Amino acid sequence: MNTQALRFVPASEFKERAAAAVADEHLRHSFRGAMDFLIGKRAAQFPDPVALEQQRALAEHIRKYSLARLPDLLEQLERKLTENGIQVHWAADPEQANRIIIDIARRHSTRLMVKGKSMVSEEIELNHAMADAGMEALESDMGEYIVQLDGEKPSHIIMPAIHKTKQEIARLFAERVPGAGYTESVDELIGIGRAVLREKFMSADIGLSGVNFAVAETGTLCLVENEGNGRMCTTVPDVHIAITGIEKVVEKLEHVPPLFGLLTRSATGQAITTYFNMISGPRRPGEKDGPREMHLVLVDNGRTQAYSDEQLRSTLQCIRCGACMNHCPVYTRIGGHAYGTTYPGPIGEIISPHMLGLAATHVLPTASSLCGACGEVCPVRIPIPDLLIRLRGEAQHDERPGHFPMLGQGAAKSRVIDAIWAGWAALYTRPALYRAFGWLATRFRALTPPMQSGWTVSRTPLKPAGQTLHERMAARKRP
Amino acid sequence: MDDTGGRRYPAKPARVYLFGTCLIDLFCPEAGMDAVRLLEREGIEVDFPPDQTCCGQPAHSSGFPDQTRAVALAQLRLFPEPWPVVVPSGSCAGMMRHHYPKVFADDPALLAEAQALAERVFELSEFLLEVARVRFSDQGPPARVALHTSCAARREMGTQVHARALLDQLPAVEVAMHGHESECCGFGGTFSLKHPAISSAMAGDKVEALKETGAETFLSADCGCMLNLNHTLQKRGESLQGQHLASFLWQRTGGQGGRR
């Protein structure tokens, strides 16, 4: 077991990592293949574009409705969960969330925690906090198990080990799993992992899981998974801790099916997952299984900042399907690790600034050609390109009147860039000056610089034409 | 919000405005001229307001709303008559049609003007197909071409549908599909300058896909994508070059009939 897993690398070094990633043929090829596969699987689930738009509209509406009532729904959720015997904890930041979980673990003299897949636990770097506290946290989702074994971070929110080939996994298992031989058979590899994990489920003191939907009216935690490890984590150990972001709540049970159906179809192209767990409390008297104690940790970690702005609030509509990254031409080229954040790809570019601040993350919203593929496939219709533009602006400027400053507001402000855009606006708002500029640029086109910043890295220099369209249209008017 | 379906089109007008765009003005004026010729051949007079500059998209997508607004405002009142505004670029048309109303959302009077303008904005191929209702007669030899539609053109203006329908009017022109056709070419305005490594990788993959079709040329209704791909191809020493859709259509259909 490798407890010296990678810590987050700063997002500010994004450009260097992205450049290294695009130069890596192997990575390019494997991400392209994997993303094409997922794009195809999703497309096969949505043969009727009109029906898809209706489903997206409904899902968007449910998420917006839930967010509009978020404070009330969270109180209702806490009440119902408490009635159901689930203890509710509130964490403003990763430190608080880790402390809550470690306190619970210590109370139960924990040696081993088994974990179902939870991106919020990645967000708070729970595995490190547990290791620092002298306790083991073992990932039980096969992909998460693989990246943990190799001391890596997930490179995708749904498929954490998507960057790895089966040969790499074969070598990893042969090296790190005691007693495992080298095999490239996927079934045998999964068998090796399952054999290790089976034993750990039985000996773990605590099971941890994420939450896909928390239903306020019934106090139900819904968990979507394919491997059955989520059910093991939430039923076998004596203590179950669920952890999630405060935005995951919906009001009614009937709000779940439309979201669930879009989540699985958008994520993996499945009409439904193998397991769908609805958890509504610990073991009751007379019941033969289930945890004896249950907790839910609700994490803010910057979500309130997004919530407090009308436009940025739509960030929280996300149901974590990963379709935006599967369809993103940038993510496809650089993979998830280049971003240096828990959430990579388009959703990461719009949510990481709230979690980590613009000072650390302002480069991320610029890493998009604004092609719009993400917004087009988002099952809850988050206008991701509009939010990228908004965050670019927040990084470049002080807060606008009537708005709260974001964490790291104006972190990318630069006098040089401000001057460039001021000059640009001065030119393009003065038609006579603009026409004179066009005349000069075309007459002196031979003097166009041969090196044009990032453009000429892989392109020949741009050169103006001999005459502008303005001149040619003006010339036509004279008979 | 897009124009891939459901937009109601007016009757063919006697006059239109042309918004030429800043990239065409400086780098591809011939494409602008060909757009004018195509319109005039249909008996439509073209008015080119000389005070037009840029739609404001570069500042908009870079997060400079004040500069966007100033430049957009400088265009907003250049089209006082109720004629259609034809734009030979999908992304600039998308900016004026879909983003101007957002740019001026906080000022009811300007918002009303922006909305009225947005209603009259048409991407060139959309206008030729749906408003001018052209019927081309193909005058060229058999040709195999590929089509790259800019992302904004595709997602905001439905240009891939309109451009393909226009090309379908040319029986000797075969339009070859290329791999990952709907994927971005990596231009993205300032993105190509800020993230050259990623942008170059995207452009490289796009030119490879275009080359694999065996097409003699590729067409685009956006000057930005075309410059990105053409200059990438030139740097690689490739002979394949793209052409603006307006120029190709004009040349294929006889190259005459309008005012010179």
Q: What is the 3-state secondary structure (H, E, C) of A431-466?
A: HHHHHHHHHHHHHCHHHCCCCCHHHHHCCCCCCCCC
Distances (CA, A) of B153 to A123, A293, A326, B158, B205: 37, 56, 22, 6, 20
What is the reported pLDDT for A3?
36
Nearest C-alpha in A relative to B1? A376
CB contact under 8 A, B184 and A373: yes
Q: Clarify whether residues A292 and A423 are in a common domain.
A: no
Residue numbers of A between 8 and 27 with CB closer than 8 Å to B: 15, 18-19, 22-23
**Rounded Cα gap, residues A78 and A206, in angstroms:** 22
DSSP label of A277: E
pLDDT digits (tens, 9 = 90+) for B120-166: 999 999 999 999 999 999 999 999 999 999 898 889 988 889 999 99
Mapped onto helix, strand or coil, the DSSP state of residue B219 is: strand
Q: Clarify whether residues A142 and A282 are in a common domain.
A: yes
Q: How far is B63 from chain A (nearest CA, A)?
A: 4
CB contact under 8 A, A366 and B194: yes
| Among A333, A464, A473, beta carbon nearest to B202 | A333
CB contact under 8 A, A465 and B33: no
Does A326 touch chain B if contact means CB atoms closer than 8 Å?
A: no
Q: How far is A271 from chain B (nearest CA, A)?
A: 25
Contacts of B195 in chain A (CB under 8 A): 15, 18, 330, 366-367, 454
Q: Where exactly are the structural domains of chain B? A: 15-131, 143-252
Task: Answer whether residue A338 is part of any domain.
Answer: no
CATH code for the domain of A89: 3.40.50.10420
Ranges of H-type helices in B7-145: 22-27, 29-41, 57-62, 65-76, 90-94, 100-103, 108-120, 124-126
Question: Residues 6 or more apart from A285 whose CB is under 8 A from it?
Answer: none
| pLDDT for residue A462 is more than 70 | yes
CB contact under 8 A, A431 and B30: no
Does A425 touch chain B if contact means CB atoms closer than 8 Å?
A: yes
Burial per residue of A129-168, b for 16 or more beta-carbon CB atoms within 10 angstroms, e otherwise: bbbebebbbbbbbbbbbbbbbbebbbbbbbbbbbbbeeee
CB contact under 8 A, B198 and A473: no
A404 confidence band (pLDDT: 50, 70, 90)? confident
One DSSP character per residue, A119-130 reads HHHHHTTHHHHH
CB contact under 8 A, B61 and A389: yes
**Rounded Cα gap, residues A62 and A259, in angstroms:** 8
DSSP label of B145: E
| Among B27, B184, B197, beta carbon nearest to A464 | B27
What is the reported pLDDT for A72?
98
Element (H, E) at A239: strand A239-245
| pLDDT for residue B98 is more than 80 | yes
Per this entry, what is the length of chain B? Answer: 260
**Rounded Cα gap, residues B252 and B219, in angstroms:** 13
Residue numbers of A between 441 and 470 with CB closer than 8 Å to B: 441-442, 453-455, 457-465, 467-470
Long-range CB contacts for residues A133-136, cutoff 8 Å, separation at least 24: A133/A102, A133/A105, A133/A106, A135/A102, A135/A105, A135/A110, A135/A111, A136/A1, A136/A3, A136/A111, A136/A112
Mapped onto helix, strand or coil, the DSSP state of residue A263 is: helix
User: Quick one: how far is CA A263 from the chain centroid?
Assistant: 14
Element (H, E) at A297: strand A293-299
What is the reported pLDDT for A479?
55
| Among A391, A397, A469, beta carbon nearest to B29 | A469
Distances (CA, A) of B100 to A74, A294, B96, B136, B183: 38, 52, 5, 33, 25
* Beta pairing partners, A275: A225
Fold of the CATH domain B143-252:
Rossmann fold (3.40.50)
Question: Residues 6 or more apart from A115 whose CB is under 8 A from it?
Answer: A121, A126, A127, A137, A138, A139, A140, A141, A144, A207, A208, A209, A233
- What's the mean per-residue pLDDT of chain A? 95
What is the reported pLDDT for A1?
37
Tokens of A374: 């993400």
Q: What is the pTM of this model?
A: 0.96
Global ipTM: 0.96
Nearest C-alpha in B relative to A463? B27
Nearest C-alpha in A relative to B196? A454
Closest CA to B165 of B213, B125, B105: B125
Nearest C-alpha in A relative to B183? A329
- Across chain B, the runs of DSSP E, i.e. the strands, are 15-18, 45-47, 85-87, 121-123, 143-147, 173-176, 217-220, 241-244
pLDDT digits (tens, 9 = 90+) for A341-385: 999 999 999 999 999 999 999 999 999 999 999 999 999 999 999
pLDDT digits (tens, 9 = 90+) for A257-283: 999 999 999 999 999 999 999 999 999
Nearest C-alpha in A relative to B65? A393
Distances (CA, A) of A330 to A49, A161, A386: 25, 18, 17
- In this structure, what is the dihedral angle of CA atoms A244, A245, A246, A251, given to the nearest 10 degrees? -60
Contacts of B184 in chain A (CB under 8 A): 329, 369, 371, 373
Task: Answer whether residue A426 is part of any domain.
Answer: yes
Beta-sheet pairing, A206-209 with A239-245:
parallel
**Rounded Cα gap, residues B236 and B241, in angstroms:** 12
CB contact under 8 A, B59 and A454: no
| pLDDT for residue B4 is more than 80 | no
Closest CA to A142 of A226, A75, A240, A44: A226
Nearest C-alpha in A relative to B153? A371
Q: Which domain holds residue A462?
A: 419-477
What is the reported pLDDT for A9?
58
Element (H, E) at B197: helix B196-212
Residue holding tokens 């978020």?
A70
> Which of the listed residues A257, A280, A304 is the one where a domain comes to its end?
A304
Tokens of B179: 């791999």
Task: Answer whether residue A214 is part of any domain.
Answer: yes
| Among B184, B232, B234, beta carbon nearest to A369 | B184
Q: How far is B112 from chain A (nearest CA, A)?
A: 21
CB contact under 8 A, A366 and B203: no
**Rounded Cα gap, residues A92 and A90, in angstroms:** 7
What is the reported pLDDT for B256?
67
Q: How far is A351 from chain B (nearest CA, A)?
A: 17
Residue holding tokens 């058979």?
A185
Per this entry, what is the length of chain A? Answer: 479
B254 confidence band (pLDDT: 50, 70, 90)? confident
The whole-number average pLDDT for the span A292-321 is 97
End-to-end Cα spacing for chain B: 38
CB contact under 8 A, B63 and A391: yes
Q: How far is B172 from chain A (nearest CA, A)?
A: 31
Residue numbers of A between 375 and 414 with CB closer than 8 Å to B: 375-376, 389-397
User: Which one of B195, B226, B230, B241 would you mutate to disrupt binding with A, by most A Cβ within 10 Å of its Cβ?
Assistant: B195
Hey, what amino acid is at A254?
Answer: E
Contacts of B95 in chain A (CB under 8 A): none
What is the reported pLDDT for A478?
62
Number of neighbours of residue B196 by Cβ within 10 angstroms: 21
Nearest C-alpha in B relative to A439? B26
Number of neighbours of residue A54 by Cβ within 10 angstroms: 12
CB contact under 8 A, A424 and B59: yes
Q: Clarify whether residues A133 and A260 are in a common domain.
A: yes
Contacts of A458 in chain B (CB under 8 A): 196, 200, 203-204, 232, 235
B1 confidence band (pLDDT: 50, 70, 90)? very low
Q: How far is B192 from chain A (nearest CA, A)?
A: 6
One DSSP character per residue, B51-81 reads T----SHHHHHHT-HHHHHHHHHHHHTS--S
CB contact under 8 A, A369 and B202: yes
pLDDT digits (tens, 9 = 90+) for A317-342: 999 999 999 999 999 999 999 999 99
Count up the domains in chain A and report the number.
Answer: 2
Q: How far is A427 from chain B (nearest CA, A)?
A: 9
Closest CA to B27 of B240, B244, B255, B236: B244
**Rounded Cα gap, residues A416 and A426, in angstroms:** 15
